Amino acid sequence: MSEKRATREAYGATLIELANEGVPVVAVDADLSGSTTTAKFGAAYPDRLINVGIAEQNMIGTAAGLAVEGKVAFTGSFAVFATGRAYDQIRNTVCYSNLDVKVAPTHSGITVGPDGGSHQMLEDIALMRVLPGMRVLVPADAVAARGAIRVAATTPGPFYIRLGRAAVPVIYDDDYTFELGRARVLREGSHVTLAACGVMVEQALAAAGQLELEGINAEVIDVSTIKPFDTATLVASALKTGVVVTCEEHSIIGGLGSAVAEALGEHAPVPLARVGVRDVFGTSGEPAELMEHFGLTGADIAEAARAVIGRR
């Protein structure tokens, strides 16, 4: 687990792969093709990367038109602009017409770092999750990101893929395949379930390591698909361990924690703790500092696990 790569690094490279295979992918970016890495795709397929300038609404609208004509249109920009700035375009044009637009921005969450709260998107999972027809993927590493992009490209209809800026450890082997709608148990345990997504999978695994030293056996689940949600896997784990901690680099409102709470509330009400950003905006700082500042480290997850076990 020594190699580190940002999930965004998979973006341009995977689009090239898909185009080479004959998938009619195009990318529409908004003056951030270097940051999102769609520029790499543009270098290989110049006609198929369309830069709209700093105009995210137009980015989504143009992608929608391309999709109407049979293209598989990926869009870029940063998560905060690609979702919030263009929300109505995503709702009323992409989702309402059920178009093959894959909203895959980078720079989600606080690990954006020094750019600060204006650029750290913490509400995107919530915004995208409520849209009818939208599938929401949050890959944990660059390997899963490649898999998520491939699944989105080859499955009809709208997708949201949450990519990040910061380099994170590679968790998965190259033979990994992304399964839409399936949460993956990375480590089996019997005392507490740690359900995580994105960069928080690494932190959950670290928490499980810490807890093991105390004799607490944690089950770690990578919930890489937030929607459609894998209720069966989460409920089975909750019934086994009896307590659940959710871990996300996102607001605790509306994201993974909410999705888990909804599923457990209906099917397996057990004590639940949500580790995430607690209804505040982000702030400037280095990613590692911010993870500590907002209480998103492995140690924070372990602490939440101990507390929730006490509520059993």
Partner 1 sequence: MTDAGRIAAIEAKAARMRYDIVEMIAEAGSGHPGGSLSAADIVATLYFDVLRHDPTRPDWPERDRFVLSKGHAAPVLYAALAEAGYFGRDHLVTLRKLGSILQGHPDCLKCSGVEVSTGSLGQGLAIANGMALALKLDENPARVFCLLGDGELQEGEVWEAAMFAPHHGLGNVTAIVDHNGLQIDGACDEVMCLGGVAEKFAAFGWEVRETSGHDVEGLLDALTEPPADPAVPVAIIAYTVKGKGVSFMEGDAGWHGKAPSAEQTAAALAELGSLLDAAMTTMTEGGAR
Interface residues with partner 1 (CB under 8 A)?
Answer: 26, 28, 47-48, 50, 52-53, 55, 57-58, 60-71, 73, 88-89, 91-93, 96-99
Dihedral pair phi/psi, residue 266, rounded to 5°: -85, -30
In Å, what is the CA distance from 195 to each residue of 24, 203, 226? 35, 11, 11
Dihedral pair phi/psi, residue 264, rounded to 5°: -70, -35
| Shortest Å distance, C-beta 86 to partner 1 | 9
| Shortest Å distance, C-beta 80 to partner 1 | 18
Pairing of strands 167-169, 192-196: unpaired
C-beta separation of 50 from 26 below 8 A: yes
69 noted as active-site residue: no
Q: Work out the angle between the directed axes of helices 142-154 and 9-20 (0-180°, nearest 10).
A: 40
Q: Which is nearer to partner 1, 24 or 285 (CB)?
A: 24
Q: Which is nearer to partner 1, 87 or 176 (CB)?
A: 87
Q: Which of 56, 123, 202, 249 is catalytic?
A: 56
Q: Which is nearer to partner 1, 96 or 176 (CB)?
A: 96
**Cα radius of gyration (the chain):** 19
In Å, what is the CA distance from 187 to each residue of 83, 161, 191, 208, 218? 33, 24, 12, 9, 8
C-beta separation of 198 from 166 below 8 A: no
Q: Which is nearer to partner 1, 46 or 215 (CB)?
A: 46
Dihedral pair phi/psi, residue 78, rounded to 5°: -90, 155
| Shortest Å distance, C-beta 63 to partner 1 | 6
Pinpoint the alpha helices (H) of 91-199: 124-129, 142-154
| Shortest Å distance, C-beta 85 to partner 1 | 10
| Shortest Å distance, C-beta 114 to partner 1 | 29
CB atoms within 10 A of CB 9: 18
Q: Which is nearer to partner 1, 100 or 124 (CB)?
A: 100
Q: Among all residues, which ones are annotated catalytic?
A: 56
